[in-house]
Structure 1
């Protein structure tokens, strides 16, 4: 197969964008099949008469658009077609790669606790048979009571089991809340940088997502007021505690201001508290401050085990039937079997032990990140799974991510979390939980430190 050399003369704008656009057209027309290896940066630069930096930036732009993927030590290849909602998907990575791209819980040895809980469940054949049967979509009452106590203890939520619907994890909880409250074409407001999972659900449901400006605390009340006046939104999705990706936590005064705006404009709030249990201290959730105007989504999967797939939605009474309808239409019910394991861990105290271990690991990881990246604008929060790094000039986030990947470290740029077409900050999210082993994390941080300290290879990316 011949080497792909595009004709960029018919494309306007910066040359790196022209190369990326030509690549998109070639993929669409079948000239670049899935899996094809692209020319090296030097080869394509020489062929087109541009700098290597221009090609590097073009490849990074194509990777951001999901057209190609870089493989450490192997080159850049055309990716399989993927939807915009795929920007937070889990992929297999080589063992020598330090993956700081996804907020996944640390891997503790859970075999023995699981065995004890499973054995205990199997000791009562009648109760076990009940777990293996179909149940109403809201979930078993006794399991909702246990999880309601958990939510009250670790989130300070106004948790009533009668107003709780169980879900198959936090992502499912978000999706169910959106389906209950909004319809295709409705406007959903989010932070200008937000969890990609909500964007995935909003895209599939054909919602119109509009960003709201943020500051160091998260959502700006003045910007929210303006967005409500301009867009007449149906709902607001936000993360007031350990915001993803910035780690921001709203003060009590800020939370009250956000509620005031939404109350006046009759905007339902969908509050994401999936990471909330990790916070050492946080103000009351929005749901506790305004129970009739907030739907809270939570999960134990993120802090206990992803395989448990046990989440929940706490909602005003009038929304509970609609949430039940959404669950029944999507999967009939969350698994009572995995919920039983989660509830057993909560009741026997193991969940609290695991949560504390998780917090300690994340506290140590944050300390390690500050030690390696001292002097740079790194933002962490006690026990948060991630950190936020603002890049110094002249570095640009997409190129920084691409270069880190070439050196075996996976991270996410602000563009992964960006809503709309506005300016995106030059920031990076580091998922510290992705490499909880100190030696592995140190190796990844040293690569990033090297890129920050020796910026000359990246400097040319900013001057086109």
Structure 2
């Protein structure tokens, strides 16, 4: 821990801003470096002779400026001043690799964009789509959201649906509407990679919560008792969940698991944000949290993972109390999602092309999963024929970061568990493998063979036929 004590004797104006300014100055001069841990708030308050609330506001202001990062239960650290581009972000001139890292679910089976655009061109009153529309979207496009939410196990009310620029934008505006800066939000220990930076960018603190263990040794739903403890210990105000095909573990919650978490949310007055971009790939949707706890749940649906990431269209369904706030947050961020691409998606839904594409993708995914399970045996691959990615458990000697790097040198990309957990945690022995980004079955199987061979080389185990623990 760095015994950092700022000089604020000549400070003018609010003390908390003077402390934040001093911290920013020391970061710029190098007196404080990335990873340095700042003094506990009570200790610094005592040394400076100010209130604990002043230090809390100062640290909060520093986090808003992205100078520091608070890690629940461990303290406050100087953050990196250089933000690396996510390995998931496509690059126009990137070298060709066999992509098992990014979740582009069978884009070669998407509906025809050319035909869709020709249909849009013939739409009556098309010129209206080239102007401003309400921030929540046109009624016909919100009704499309209602149809999409049916695949999520939710009978949505069109008055409570808003159109967003994809699921990521939906997460942003939903969290802005439901929470206040400084609130703590529970997330799965392993979760969607961008949620940590998204919450931090909104001034919210992520509190990782462990999962239950399944009978097969895989990872299950968020532990409801651990969530209750986090709510008490850290004052958690909400919880971010992916009940269907959780990313990256693939787990789909049972009805009982959902009901257990709803009971905790009600007991501790937590808002629920459910993000389920992969749900349409499942043949039999279970009741959404928006159906089980409609008074406290915001549900997010997206077209990006299903058929059209380029359209940037998603939908949110929120409790009536937050309807105006959602509209305002969409208006403040983008004014509106594009009504032109919303009409493109609406046509695909009305004509059944979206669901035809899903049938083709489900069939292709079944074959990919069965191939992966066979080739990667005996290593445990969590997932099933309806899951568009798998969570591969690695033997104890294999470091997931080393495995990812070794595969990269062979022209294969996959993701270490590091990308799915808080930065201060040691990577767990898992690798996420996606099934649908590569069009060629041959290239896909070749990449799996490279993964299996590289694991064996790194593990250096004499007998890989022994059961995985």
Smaller-chain TM-score bracket: 0.7 to 0.9
Q: Which residue of 1 aligns with 2:176?
A: 179
User: Secondary structure at the residue paired with 2:386?
Assistant: coil
Q: How does 1:65-144 map to 2 (within 5 A)?
A: 82-83=82-83, 86=86, 88-92=88-92, 96-108=96-108, 113-124=112-123, 127-144=125-142
Q: Which residue of 1 aligns with 2:319?
A: 316
Correspondence 1:249 to 2:246: no
Q: Which residue of 2 aligns with 1:396?
A: 399
Moved over 6 A (4+): none
Q: Which residue of 2 aligns with 1:64?
A: none
Q: Go from structure 1 to structure 2 and tell me whether the alpha carbon gap of 1:309 and 1:96 turns closer, same or farther (over 3 Å shift).
A: closer
Q: Go from structure 1 to structure 2 and tell me whether the alpha carbon gap of 1:247 and 1:110 turns closer, same or farther (over 3 Å shift).
A: closer
Q: How does 1:405-424 map to 2 (within 5 A)?
A: 405-419=408-422, 421-424=424-427
Conserved? CA contact 1:362–1:432, under 8 Å: yes
Of residues 87-96 and 400-409 in structure 1, the stretch that sits farther from structure 2 once superposed is: 87-96
Shift of residue 114, structure 1, vs aligned partner: 2.9
Shift of residue 429, structure 1, vs aligned partner: 0.5
TM-score normalised by the chain length of structure 2: 0.77
Correspondence for 1:296 among 299, 311, 319? 299
Shift of residue 177, structure 1, vs aligned partner: 1.0
Q: Which residue of 2 aligns with 1:5?
A: none
Q: Which residue of 2 aligns with 1:286?
A: 289
Which whole-Å CA distance do the structure 1 matches of 2:455 and 2:110 have between them? Answer: 38
Which whole-Å CA distance do the structure 1 matches of 2:461 and 2:107 have between them? Answer: 35
User: Secondary structure at the residue paired with 2:227?
Assistant: helix
Correspondence 1:192 to 2:195: no
Which whole-Å CA distance do the structure 2 matches of 1:277 and 1:251 have between them? Answer: 17
* Structure that is richer in helix per residue: 1
Correspondence for 1:429 among 426, 432, 439? 432
Conserved? CA contact 2:154–2:291, under 8 Å: yes
Q: Go from structure 1 to structure 2 and tell me whether the alpha carbon gap of 1:230 and 1:424 turns closer, same or farther (over 3 Å shift).
A: farther
Map Cα deviations across residues 24-83 of structure 1 (whole Å, 9 max, x no partner): xxxx999xxxxxxxxxxxxxxxxxxxxxxxxxxxxxxxxxxxxxxxxxxxxxxxxx9842
User: Secondary structure at the residue paired with 1:428?
Assistant: strand
Conserved? CA contact 2:167–2:277, under 8 Å: yes
Which whole-Å CA distance do the structure 2 matches of 1:331 and 1:458 have between them? Answer: 54
Q: Which residue of 1 aligns with 2:272?
A: 269
Correspondence for 1:156 among 149, 153, 157? 153
Q: How does 1:202-281 map to 2 (within 5 A)?
A: 202-215=199-212, 216-281=219-284
Correspondence 1:346 to 2:343: no
TM-score normalised by the chain length of structure 1: 0.78
Map Cα deviations across residues 135-189 of structure 1 (whole Å, 9 max, x no partner): 110000011112202211x112131110001001111111111111122211111
Shift of residue 93, structure 1, vs aligned partner: 6.8
Q: Go from structure 1 to structure 2 and tell me whether the alpha carbon gap of 1:426 and 1:289 turns closer, same or farther (over 3 Å shift).
A: same
CA RMSD of aligned residues (A): 2.3
Q: Go from structure 1 to structure 2 and tell me whether the alpha carbon gap of 1:423 and 1:230 turns closer, same or farther (over 3 Å shift).
A: farther
Q: Go from structure 1 to structure 2 and tell me whether the alpha carbon gap of 1:383 and 1:291 turns closer, same or farther (over 3 Å shift).
A: same
Q: Go from structure 1 to structure 2 and tell me whether the alpha carbon gap of 1:120 and 1:93 turns closer, same or farther (over 3 Å shift).
A: closer
Q: Go from structure 1 to structure 2 and tell me whether the alpha carbon gap of 1:321 and 1:458 turns closer, same or farther (over 3 Å shift).
A: farther
Conserved? CA contact 2:170–2:300, under 8 Å: yes
Shift of residue 283, structure 1, vs aligned partner: 2.0
Map Cα deviations across residues 335-379 of structure 1 (whole Å, 9 max, x no partner): 011010101001011111111112122221111101111111111
Which whole-Å CA distance do the structure 2 matches of 1:450 and 1:81 have between them? Answer: 38
Correspondence for 2:386 among 377, 383, 387? 383
Of residues 83-92 and 304-313 in structure 1, the stretch that sits farther from structure 2 once superposed is: 83-92
Q: Go from structure 1 to structure 2 and tell me whether the alpha carbon gap of 1:253 and 1:238 turns closer, same or farther (over 3 Å shift).
A: same
Which whole-Å CA distance do the structure 2 matches of 1:373 and 1:109 have between them? Answer: 26
Correspondence 1:334 to 2:359: no
Q: Which residue of 2 aligns with 1:22?
A: none
Q: Go from structure 1 to structure 2 and tell me whether the alpha carbon gap of 1:430 and 1:81 turns closer, same or farther (over 3 Å shift).
A: farther
Map Cα deviations across residues 111-131 of structure 1 (whole Å, 9 max, x no partner): 7x333332233234x510111
Which whole-Å CA distance do the structure 1 matches of 2:147 and 2:410 have between them? Answer: 45
Q: Go from structure 1 to structure 2 and tell me whether the alpha carbon gap of 1:450 and 1:374 turns closer, same or farther (over 3 Å shift).
A: same
Q: Which residue of 2 aligns with 1:10?
A: none
Q: Which residue of 1 aligns with 2:8?
A: none
User: Secondary structure at the residue paired with 2:349?
Assistant: helix
Aligned residue-pair number: 380
User: Secondary structure at the residue paired with 1:86?
Assistant: coil
Unaligned segments of structure 1, at least 5 residues: 1-27, 31-79, 460-464
Q: Go from structure 1 to structure 2 and tell me whether the alpha carbon gap of 1:138 and 1:456 turns closer, same or farther (over 3 Å shift).
A: closer
Which whole-Å CA distance do the structure 2 matches of 1:314 and 1:430 have between them? Answer: 30
